[in-house]
Amino acid sequence: MGLGSSPGVTNLMAACGAKRLSRVREVKIRVGGVSTRPAPGPFNPP
């Protein structure tokens, strides 16, 4: 999602999914699409 909506939306989606299950021991969330070497620019300060 990005643009400031995460982690809020991510937490809500995990909670919604957990409510549908009878038992939840753990929730693992992974982030995709985040560069490990972002290019310098106005949105990626050094």
Q: Is 40 helix (H, G, I), strand (E, B) or coil?
A: coil
pLDDT in tens, 15-33: 999 999 999 999 888 777 6
pTM more than 0.95:
no
Q: Is 12 helix (H, G, I), strand (E, B) or coil?
A: helix
Average pLDDT, the chain: 78
- Spell out the residues 6+ positions from residue 41 whose beta carbon is closer than 8 angstroms to its own: none
Residue 4 per-residue DSSP state: T
